[in-house]
Structure 1
Amino acid sequence: MLAIAPVLDHLDANLNQSLERLYELLRIRSISTDPAFAADCRKAAEWLVADLKSIGFEASVRDTTGHPMVVAHHEGPSPDAPHVLFYGHYDVQPVDPLNLWEDDPFDPKLKELSPGRKVITGRGSSDDKGQLMLFVEACRAYKAVHGKLPCKVSILFEGEEESGSPSLKPFLDANSEELKADFAMVCDTGMWDRTTPAICVGLRGLVGEEIVVHAANRDLHSGEFGGAAANPIRILAKVLADMHDDTGRVTIPGFYDGVEETPTQVLKSWESLGETTESFLGEVGLSIPSGEKGRSVLELTWARPTAEFNGITGGYTGEGFKTVIAAKASAKVSFRLVHKQDPDKIRAAFRDFVRARIPADCSVEFHEHGGSPAIQLSYDSPFLIRAQQALTDEWDKPAVTIAMGGSIPIVGDFQNFLGMESLLVGFALVDDRIHSPNEKYDLSSFRGGQRSWARILDALTR
């Protein structure tokens, strides 16, 4: 067992040097969605490989049909030491609109946001370069102090997370034996607040559908045909309105199959976080929850399934007015899934629900837009319990277990392709402005995150 105290001291003593390394990585314009920055994405991968090699990892750039992966391995202190796979992504979002940035997005700085609160600025500072470098710095400190790591570590850094990860599944499938570990650690999450660490144990799944209702063979004059001809906008509106009852529940038959009630003790722990309807919805100018009646906003967004409408089109939508009955109308519908809901069954049930409401002389077509199951980790996982204690030790506040309303597909991919559960720990904050101008990362997150990963690695070996 390797002593943790000198590792933490080393991290603090070398904080400025670790900041300089992060700045070097942040200056690389690794925007994955824009082909103009393909060379920069490769440059970021090569930078990471060189940095990992400098602390003893066997690291390499792995080509894909898109941007390259970074894969690295480091042996543990003994053959029976735990083996972890750490995941992060080095690509970043575009910076548009550039005129809204206070500084050059690829010229990182340390700024004082308010008295006593310093932040690192720049694109990728929080999502996800700042986050992934925390783990690298923890490994660097272990090597500097003890000459070895407390467990076997593999690393996978992706370069396409911000552009849909098109190369990830084929890469995992082709390299599953190499990447398998006891469990994965994912850093693309956040804290509950600036001083309260969190571990995410649940992620909602996703089903995306686009439906197009066809009626007449051309747009019609609403005076000549109104009242006689089917109106696809009205048909579509009726379909969408039928999908929820007056209590907010989704009415698609079989929709709640596999949905479990959240354990009472978990609901109580969420209540203790102090989030209210007013605090949650007030920031966006709303005050009344629209989901299932009798449930808190955290339960609604973390542990209950949803059906939401993300866009509707049909007829004339330009300036002015046009009296027309459209030939077709369309809608984009997304479902967030929980627990054991089956994405394929949800998609099929939705399509049956829609078809049953289309008149005989009209038709409907469907376009699939992805699907993934929900992820629910065990609340009594030994990895989770040890990590929770490690975070509590570092932040002097109990680490909370939370869920997330969104999806992180890589967690499902690790389960499906590698048979591994994931530990989701991150140090981003809700005001980090990820994907937006003036992205930042708190210095307290950067320092505390390094120390936290060092503690977690230590805890896993005890």
Structure 2
Amino acid sequence: MNDIKKYVQENKQRFIDELIELLKIPSVSADSAYSQDVVDTADAVKMRLEEAGCDLVEICETPGYPIVYAEKMIDPNLPTVLVYGHYDVQPPDPIELWTSPPFEPVIKKTDIHPEGAIFARGACDDKGQMYMHVKAMEFMVKTNNLPCNVKFMIEGEEEVGSTSLSWFVERNQEKLKNDVILISDTGMISNTQPSVTTGLRGLSYVEVEVTGPNRDLHSGLYGGAVANPINILAKMIASLHDENNRITIPGFYDKVEDLSDDERAAMAKAPFSLEAYKKSLNLNDVYGEKGYTTNERNSIRPTLDVNGIWGGYQGEGAKTVIASQAFAKISMRLVPNQEWHEITELFTKHFESIAPSGVTVKVKPHHGGQGYVTPIDSIGYQAADKAYTESFGIKPIPVRSGGSIPIVALFEKELKSKTILMGFGLDSDAIHSPNEHFGIFNYLKGIETIPLFYKHFVELSK
């Protein structure tokens, strides 16, 4: 595959232009106002997979948004790689914090990306990283460098829990049969130090509702005489962590795996500057569970965070009311062995138990998923290691991510195959935030590296 670098350079502008066109479609799966855009994006992905040389490409209907399935089977005796990605994106809010419209992609130079980065919602998560695989497929087919069978499964509900994907996988196990699953929906340490994500946290996401009086009340006539749901909710949320920032839900840590000193020492070898980390976030200090480093807190330890909180009057000026209701959305990131349904039940039981008289509490589970760890002695990991080493000229470091891709555990359960996470994004790419972007270097380097994974995976499988 010596001609991969040449192919990428010769087609660089086309690759960028095609991604920009994909990023213009606002495929926000969480908001029904964008439902047609989500469907249109599936059609666009289908077209690009056909152009890349897949023999079979189809839109698979589900109870929710469609899944784009594609394949090129060259020899049943050769290994099969299943590529997973998603074409839906996070909502762009808050719009006012974007320096350019979220669905009008622009290329800007930054300190980290001097060659430029594409700014748009979904640029890194996950349209840009998903599309690297489409272009890598194009190269392998057009240059006769495809060493094995390939299948694609690109979904449109990852940002809202992948409910339809679970439905699809359970019903199409033979269709999706593979030897390894390849995903680029994670990141790497830096553009000079690649890494392979070997662990993901699980997730439990809930919404809570605290109700007091049967209507909003005048805060002068009723203040001090009835429970204020907003005050109560704030106290309840504050009680979910103790003075050491440990979560106070009974049983929450019962199944948490404590890594050995050797494992923690190995993690500590990854390059990390605390001062640079704080500077990049404009923080004067970090915060988290006592006894753990920043990198451990956001990868191997579980968390509980409020993602949104509201209630009462929020318009301009003053309105002196005691709100009838208060609400919050809460996510818990879980480590391997914590079962997300069980954690959701523990949270619900505890949150209801700490509600004082005078209010009622409802907990509405949204979605969740299991954590995942992939062994570094597997053929898939070794192939990724060799691919990064060949492409970047330096050996990648195995790292655990604080993020969640709930379907990875589902894949292992239903399809009986391991997942390799070859991410090319950076922590600074602002995924899920205003001004999300993806470096041109990272995008093209991904296209260059992915075919090398196929080459080494087939060689190691012999």
**Which of 375, 392, 407 is residue 404 of structure 2 equivalent to?**
407
Match in the other structure for 2:70:
72
SS class of match (1:340): coil
SS class of match (2:449): helix
Q: Aligned AA for 2:278?
A: L
Equivalent residue number for residue 26 of structure 2: 31
1:131 aligns with 2:129: yes
Q: CA deviation at 1:113?
A: 5.7
Deviation at 1:322, TM superposition (A): 5.0
Contact 1:83 1:152 in 2 (8 A): yes
Aligned partner of 1:173: which letter? E
- Written as runs of structure 1 = structure 2, the 5 A alignment for 1:377-388 is 377-388=374-385
1:176 corresponding residue in structure 2:
173
Cα distance, 1:226 vs structure 2: 4.6
Aligned residue among 57, 60, 63 for 1:62: 60
SS of equivalent to 2:132: helix
Is residue 429 of structure 1 aligned with residue 394 of structure 2? Answer: no
Matched, 1:20 2:14: yes
Local SS of the residue matching 2:174: helix
- Give the distance between the partners of 1:385 and 1:39, measured in 2 at CA: 37
Q: C-alpha separation between the residues in 2 aligned to 1:113 and 1:226?
A: 51
Determine the structure 1 residue equivalent to 2:45: 45
Q: What is the Cα deviation at residue 334 of structure 1?
A: 1.8
- 1:76-95 matches, within 5 Å, as 76-77=74-75, 79=77, 81-91=78-88
Between the aligned residues of both structures, percent identity stands at 35
Secondary structure class of the residue paired with 1:302? coil
User: In the comparison of the two structures, how many residue pairs are matched?
Assistant: 451
Q: Which residue of 2 aligns with 1:442?
A: 439
Q: Secondary structure at the match of 1:367?
A: strand
Mapped contact 2:119–2:436 kept (Cα < 8 A): yes
Asked if structure 1 preserves the Cα contact closer than 8 Å seen for 2:161 and 2:367, the reply is: no
1:255–1:135 CA distance, 2 compared to 1 (3 A): same
1:368 aligned to 361, 365, 371, which one? 365
Q: Which runs of 5+ in 1 are unaligned?
A: 1-6
1:301 aligns with 2:312: no
Distance 1:282 1:22, change over 3 A: closer
Shift of residue 376, structure 1, vs aligned partner: 2.2
Q: Does 1:417 align with 2:414?
A: yes
* C-alpha distance in 2 between matches for 1:211 and 1:115: 39
C-alpha spacing 1:426/1:223, structure 2 compared with 1 (3 Å): closer
Cα deviation, residue 255, structure 1: 0.4
Q: Structure 2 counterpart of 1:351, which letter?
A: T
Letter matched to residue 73 of structure 2: E
CA deviation map 1:66-106 (0-9, x unaligned): 55432222235561x32220112344567785996669966
With 408-417 and 366-375 compared, the bigger mean Cα shift is at 408-417
C-alpha contact 2:12 2:444 (8 A) present in aligned 1: no
Contact in 2 for aligned 1:88/1:128 (Cα 8 Å): yes
3-state SS of 2:250 partner: coil
Distance 1:294 1:221 in 2: 46
Moved more, 296-305 or 233-242: 233-242
Backbone CA RMSD of aligned residues: 3.3
Aligned pairs for 1:87-166 (under 5 A) are 87-91=84-88, 97=95, 117-119=114-116, 121=118, 123=120, 125-145=123-143, 147=144, 149-161=146-158, 165=162
Match of 1:170, SS state, is helix
SS at match of 2:209: strand
Over 3 Å counting, the alpha-carbon distance change for 1:357 and 1:388 in structure 2 is same
- 2 CA distance for matches of 1:136 and 1:260? 37
Q: Which has the larger radius of gyration?
A: 1
Of residues 147, 162, 167, the one that matches 2:164 is 167
Give the match's secondary structure for 1:368: strand
What do residues 176-208 of structure 1 show as CA deviations (whole Å, max 9, x unaligned)? Answer: 221121221101122211122111112221112
SS in 2 for 1:398: coil
- CA distance in structure 1 between the partners assigned to 2:311 and 2:97 by the alignment: 34
Does the 8 Å contact 1:90/1:157 carry over to 2? yes
Distance 1:298 1:38, change over 3 A: closer
Query: What is the TM-score normalised by the length of structure 2?
Result: 0.84
